[in-house]
A and B are shown apart, each in its own frame.
Chain A
């Protein structure tokens, strides 16, 4: 049995008095693509943000690379974060910076690499996401799909061990969405990454998922491989895989 790279135990998350996640326990294994599924408002993004300490968990344990992060100090957690790439739902590129400068931020801030090496790395990463021609463009000059790809280039700038993507296909047409999936799979093989993806897209799940985590109203409904998910008798999961809707 593989050792999980991220291990979440009995995670409880609250907004004020409202409980968003209730005793969620999930293991994410290395070099796999784990898809977090669930209806709108079920707590998928909250789950990711609690793992990343963007929100402080109310209770429970989150271990990344075997280390408990909930009680970790900022400096120690920053070291963990430098091994994680994050693709936000809307890209979250800094609008005042060019695509090149956006992608270079992690390298400039977290490494002591010489500038010419950084420049080469960024050009290669932007070429990998097919944006080699757009390096001097500003985010406002890019389409939605291009922004996502630029954000992906920034997320993989440090060759992270873990890549977390929050709804990478949201708002994209099926072709762009499929090409983004292919790109993520290619990067997974190239960089030997562990990938966690929040998505609703059934086609995308079939293409990329190794493992499924299904959340419903803040509770864990199912966790297992894609094959197990397709065969399960849990009504919500079954309906989703049959109809493609929640």
Chain B
């Protein structure tokens, strides 16, 4: 590039490889008055070169083609790749604050309406599905129960044991100071049965099954499998969601019971090894302190946790937008919302039964 009497002369190549250097060189002439770009001696030019020329013309405030002196090859490339001939692109009008607020509120109401319909549909078809198996795949409830229940048992058992050990160990240190060792059994029994067992199981299921339900349904939605089911006169809720709903309803009391017992067993280990309590004393105390009411409240709320996980997973799955990214987004949203609603339901339950 060379500057001579109000003109910039170019020779050699103006391509994607040379443009970065030429751009730096051009910035050095920013103070000069330039009225013409001479491209007669350019030997090779590509679309990057033409975009660079357009950019120079823009910065120099020149009238595009009239300010260019160019050979035939450059002229052909310029006519093809210049951005000067592009029509201005219409940009979307930005919504003002109140329109934005209003549309957000309308969307919120719509999501409540959709969610209510979905909940009604799921409960209706789950009830009907007990008696009428048409529109469901054979063996799908067992298959789902294996995934939701059997496959999750290992991780729930392990975490319940660890949780039981932690609670017992941390409280044992305090109780020991007051000679109240025996109360570790009370603590373990009440906390595991009424709170920790159902909550831990629900959170693991939300992460494991909730994400899987949301991503499975979202993927089916994105790949038009849901539409295909509808076109085969198959109700997608009955075909996809009901087996999961039935499976989780069967599995949740078993998982919560297992989690509770294993957690208490963890407490027993600490009581025997650290607090010098005997197994008989610990077990007797557990049965003494526990009431049927506590056990029923613990199991009862776990059903609501389980159903909320299936409903939220299905809601986000059916309402996916976009492609692969949308699937990832709704999966995350489903897990977060499931855990949120599990905790909210737990709080409501505590207010109803213990306030």
Contacts and interface: CB of A to CB of B under 8 A. Distances in A.
Contacts of A232: none
Contact of B325 (A96, A114, A132): A96
Given A113-B16, A114-B23, A138-B322, A123 B48 contact: no
Contacts of A123: 83, 86, 89
Residue among A124, A140, A190 with max Cβ neighbours from chain B (10 Å): A124
A68 B55 CA distance: 39
B321 interface: yes
B46 A117 contact: no
The dominant DSSP class at the A interface is helix
B49 to A, nearest CB: 9
B82 interface: yes
Contact of A159 (B23, B47, B89, B325): B47
Contacts of B47: 121, 124-125, 159, 191
A140 B327 CA distance: 12
Interface in B33-82: 46-48, 50-52, 54-55, 80-82
A153 B80 CA distance: 14
A158 interface: yes
B237 interface: no
A202 to B, nearest CB: 29
Contacts of B81: 121, 124
Contacts of B52: 113, 117
Contacts of A95: 322-326
A120 interface: yes
A117 B71 CA distance: 22
Contacts of B16: 107, 111, 113, 158-159
Given A124-B82, A133-B90, A117 B48 contact: yes
A136 interface: yes
B83 A120 contact: yes
A111 B90 contact: no
Q: Which of B51, B82, B83, B321 is packed against the most chain A CB atoms within 10 Å? A: B51
A117 B15 CA distance: 11
A198 to B, nearest CB: 23
Contacts of B92: 136
B5 interface: no
Contacts of B90: 133
A112 interface: yes
Contact of B23 (A107, A117, A127): A117
Contacts of A158: 16
Nearest to B90: A133
B81 to A, nearest CB: 5
Interface in B11-27: 16-17, 19-20, 23
A5 B137 CA distance: 54
B273 interface: no
A113 B87 contact: no
Interface residues of B, number: 29
A128 B79 CA distance: 12
B249 to A, nearest CB: 35
A109 interface: no
A24 interface: no
Nearest to A125: B47
A26 interface: no
A140 B83 contact: no
B75 to A, nearest CB: 13
Contacts of B326: 95, 140
B89 A124 contact: no
Nearest to B21: A112
B91 interface: yes
Contacts of B46: 159, 191
10 contacts: A107-B16, A113-B19, A113-B51, A118-B51, A121-B47, A121-B81, A124-B50, A133-B90, A136-B91, A159-B48
Interface of A: 95-96, 107, 111-114, 116-118, 120-121, 123-125, 127-128, 132-133, 135-136, 138-140, 158-159, 190-191
Question: Which 6 A-B residue pairs are closest in the complex by CB-CB distance?
Answer: A95-B323, A120-B51, A96-B325, A112-B20, A140-B322, A120-B83
Interface of B: 16-17, 19-20, 23, 46-48, 50-52, 54-55, 80-83, 86-87, 89-92, 321-326
Given A140-B322, A140-B326, 19 more contacts: A95-B326, A96-B322, A107-B16, A114-B23, A117-B19, A117-B23, A117-B52, A120-B83, A121-B47, A121-B48, A123-B83, A124-B50, A127-B86, A133-B89, A138-B322, A158-B16, A159-B46, A159-B48, A191-B47
